[in-house]
A and B are shown apart, each in its own frame.
Chain A
Amino acid sequence: MGSSLLSAQDRQTLVNVVYAAFPHSTFPRGPYERAADAVIAEAGNDPRFLAQLLQGLVDLDAQRDAPFAELDAETAGAVLRGADGAPFLTSIVNSAVVTLYSDPEVWDLLGYEGPSYDRGGYVDRGFDDLDWLPDPKIEFEEEVPAS
């Protein structure tokens, strides 16, 4: 899967890149690690992307006095914005946006309930349980054509 060219430190940097791209202060590191691993797996099948990724991570480390992984969230965000549009970053973001938000742990953190069919849908589990607005009319009324 992963390439031997990517070090453990590179992986940690990549995890931080994914966090800086989609920062959720309430999320643990696990979903970001899984998203980073999916990026690494993709790069493992795409030499061009892998090459861009290796160089891109080096470039990110060179932006400030400290390596990217040691930057505070605000600075990391600013550094990443500076790299917006770089092919390696676009590839990371395109992969991570899928993996991160398809992660059941993330769904749980966001309050999303995922597949429902095996639990009988929501017909008896609150499809209409919103109670902070009055129940609206539902009947269809034929529009009056313009005169």
Chain B
Amino acid sequence: MTRFEYDDSDVVVVVGSGAGGGTVANELCQRGFRTVVLEAGPHLTGPDYHQDEWPAFAQMAWGDTRTTSGSWQVATDFPNLPAWLVKAVGGTTTHWAGACPRFKAHEFTARSTYGDVDGASLLDWPIALSELEPYYDKAEIKMGVTHRHGRPPLPANNNYKVFANGAEKLGYRYYSTGPYATNAEPYDGRPATLQDGFNFQGDKHGSKWSTLVAELPKAEKTGNLDLRPESHVAQIEHDAAGRATGVLYIDRNGTLRRQRAAVVVVAGNSIETPRLLLLSGSAQHPDGLANSSGQVGRNYMRHTTGTVWGQFDKPVRMWRGETMAGVIADESRLDTDRGFVGGYYMETISLGPAFLAKFIAPGRWGSHISDLLDGYRNTAGMWIVGEDMPRADNRITLSGDVTDQHGLPVANVHFDDHPNDVAMRTHGQRQGASVYKAVGAHKTIETPPYPSTHNLGTCRMSQRPRDGVVDRFGRAHDVPNLFVADGSVFTTGAAANPTLTIVALATRQAEYIATELAKTL
């Protein structure tokens, strides 16, 4: 186990060990840079995980208090749980399902393509798809994404059979079992899937790509990684010249530590990253670090989501197999004639009885709930995930009165649905129900959004410093050696599940940091 000194001022400090942080850390370690990863959560591994939804949730989820406001239904249904993220080594890559669509070219130019949408703060990305394509390739090879670069597809599971047959009957064409970052056959030292389900509860077998089983162990082998779990960063420090000098963090014993750094990379997901920047205000940065634009925390996006369940006369057993290894891409197309801009994917999903009962109609009870559960064995499920509109006032702020166990103000997540989001959700749920009815569903049920799993856009990338927080490489406009490596850099959300793009951007960023650092060290 490598250990660097607190006063080593030439290390790179990475805050967070998920898709962005874990990837940047490994890429830098491979290039010989000494890297300290500070992870707020514990180091759980395969044997620790529970294939039981509530114990798994209690073990893995970021359960520290957050507050909510705004008109979104999550604020009513789950007022202190706006997001379903992981607090553990590997971050939310230990919880993600594995769906890996790429962004489309037009999704990098949302403002130009969709125009001036009323009530939205759309902006074009400062990069184009063509610049990211080589890194999408690298990310897909790194993650072993099925259907890509010679990796075989995952086979059809029961939930997919219902979904795909419905898609075919409805006239959809672009349905498949992937791309998906779980091994259909052994790859990169990790085994093929056992089709054991529980994609959201960690992966006991290690066949799903995560930074826990792939990036961090590889980084560790270089001898350049100092991974410190249960280390909660409270503040980023800077000098009079405006460069970040290190971080203050609370270690597992509750002691405040200072780790000096040459470069600080923040990757705490789109709620904790802006929270940390806002907590790092100073005389030089009175509104929070790297926030001269006032954009830190703004333009919070969570994807337009919803779930559709279909119940049939015959068994489906949707819980067997890879949870999200099924996608219909037809509705992700560029087509603004549907009553909304942006596109969406339909993806298979499954919940166990415990989560289904809780989430199918939050807070509701009675025979209409128990009747649905009686049909559990014969239920198929799909998730709708599409591009939502950034809004300046959908934002992360520091709570004025609620603090966490360390005494730090918690994040408040404010979100109002944009009419475009509502129109897309309505369309998606109607199309989803049609998919199931096409293959004989006698009942379809629409479930409102869960606590957000795709949290995006609170430190967005922009060409002009006044429009966003970071530049085309994720470097803070205001602080030259401060980077953001998670989904909060997304200028707009696109329709695709974000992890692949986070990994591609992080891979590209690490290359850039390595080049820049080599000049200064």
Which residues of A are at the interface with B, using a C-beta cutoff of 8 A?
A: 21-24, 26, 77, 80-81, 90, 93, 97-98, 100-102, 106-107, 110-117, 120-123, 125-130, 132-141, 143, 145-146
Contacts and interface: CB of A to CB of B under 8 A. Distances in A.
Interface string B7-30: 000000000000000000000000
B175 interface: yes
B207 to A, nearest CB: 10
Interface string B347-375: 00000111011100001011101100110
Contacts of A23: 366-367, 370
A138 B154 contact: yes
Given A102-B354, A133-B165, A136-B165, A97 B317 contact: no
A136 B164 contact: yes
Contacts of A90: 363
Nearest to B154: A138
Nearest to A21: B365
A102 B54 contact: yes
A115 B377 contact: no
B68 to A, nearest CB: 17
Nearest to A18: B365
Interface of B: 50-54, 104-106, 147, 153-158, 160-162, 164-165, 167-168, 173-179, 193-198, 204-205, 314-317, 319-321, 329-330, 332-335, 352-354, 356-358, 363, 365-367, 369-370, 373-374, 376-377, 439
A contact patch SS? loop
Contacts of A107: 352-353
B400 to A, nearest CB: 25
Contact of A112 (B167, B319, B365): B319
A11 to B, nearest CB: 20
**Which residue, A125, A128, A133, has most C-beta atoms of chain B within 10 A?**
A133
A135 B176 CA distance: 12
Contacts of A146: 333-335
B contact patch SS? loop
A135 B174 contact: no
A135 B353 contact: no
A140 B176 contact: yes
A112 to B, nearest CB: 5
A66 to B, nearest CB: 21
Contact of A122 (B162, B164, B197): B197
B51 A113 contact: no
B156 A97 contact: no
B173 A141 contact: yes
B176 A139 contact: yes
25 contacts: A21-B365, A22-B365, A22-B370, A23-B367, A93-B363, A93-B365, A97-B358, A98-B54, A101-B352, A101-B356, A106-B353, A113-B320, A120-B196, A121-B197, A122-B196, A123-B195, A126-B158, A129-B317, A130-B314, A133-B161, A137-B164, A138-B154, A138-B160, A143-B330, A143-B333
A80 B370 CA distance: 15
A128 B154 CA distance: 11
A73 to B, nearest CB: 9
A120 B365 contact: no
A75 B272 CA distance: 49
Contacts of A26: 374
Contacts of B439: 133
A26 to B, nearest CB: 7
Given A122-B194, A126-B317, A145-B106, 5 more contacts: A90-B363, A128-B321, A133-B165, A137-B164, A143-B330
Given A133-B165, A136-B161, A116 B197 contact: yes
B198 A116 contact: yes
Contacts of A112: 319, 352-353, 376-377
Contact of A128 (B50, B158, B174, B366): B158
Contact of B161 (A116, A126, A135, A141): A135
Contact of A139 (B104, B153, B157): B153
